[in-house]
């Protein structure tokens, strides 16, 4: 099984922390949208699209990258976000991926520490998140995806 995770984690490294926790389970290589050679996507069985949420969306570099990917005809993908509120903000990303022919085999979300804007004045929210419980949930998520490839 070959996995590529395209990850943006620019606030506190929260999303990267989750990806690092599942990297071995999925045998994943990790890149940023800027470092990706799109033609290499064809070499992977599973592509992960991971991002912090910035103004109610995954990072625009990830959304723009999806627009550039050629049609994929059923290649498996998962999406993963961390956010202050822990809400589902993956809709745009999932819709874009489905339009490109990806089959979404899983979606994961976790709360992440945020000191965005006025929250910085109060020391932020979700300090310590993702925590061990979040990471364990992520490992279970990855394990379920992994089992589909065995
Ligand atoms: C510029 C900016 C905008 C944000 N907008 C939102 C938002 O709209 N909703 C939300 O729940 N969290 C928001 N957050 C909090 C982040 O989604 C959260 O801290 C996330 O875990 C950051 O991931 P990262 O550390 O991997 O970058 C925002 C953070 C920043 C810096």
Tell me: the pLDDT tens digits for 59-86?
Answer: 999 999 999 999 999 999 999 999 999 9
The pTM of the whole model exceeds 0.95: yes
Distance 5 CA to ligand 1 centre (A): 19
d(Cα 97, Cα 76) in Å, to the nearest integer? Answer: 10
Peptide bond into 130 cis (omega under 30): yes
Ligand 1 site residues (CB inside 6 A) read 9-16, 52-56, 82-85, 87, 112-114, 116
Q: Of ligand 1's atoms, which has the minimum distance to the CA of residue 57?
A: 8
d(Cα 22, Cα 101) in Å, to the nearest integer? Answer: 25
b/e 72-110 (16+ beta carbons within 10 angstroms → b) = beebbbbbbbbbbebeebbeebbebbeebebebebbbbb
Q: Of ligand 1's atoms, which has the minimum distance to the CA of residue 110?
A: 21
pLDDT of residue 118: 78
Mean pLDDT, to the nearest integer, of 31-52? 97
């Amino acid at each position: 099984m070959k996995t590529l995770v395209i990850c943006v984690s620019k606030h506190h490294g929260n999303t990267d922390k989750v990806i690092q926790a599942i990297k071995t389970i999925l045998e994943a290589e990790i890149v940023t949208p800027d470092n990706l050679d799109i033609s290499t996507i064809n070499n992977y069985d599973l592509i992960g699209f991971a991002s912090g949420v910035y103004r109610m969306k995954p990072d625009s570099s990830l959304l723009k990258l999806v627009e550039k990917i050629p049609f994929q005809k059923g290649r498996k993908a998962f999406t993963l976000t961390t956010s202050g509120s822990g809400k589902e903000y993956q809709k745009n990303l999932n819709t874009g991926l489905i339009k490109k022919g990806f089959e979404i085999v899983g979606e994961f979300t976790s709360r992440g520490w945020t000191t965005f804007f006025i929250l910085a004045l109060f020391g932020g929210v979700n300090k310590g998140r993702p925590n061990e419980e979040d990471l364990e949930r992520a490992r279970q998520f990855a394990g379920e995806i992994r089992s589909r490839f065995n």
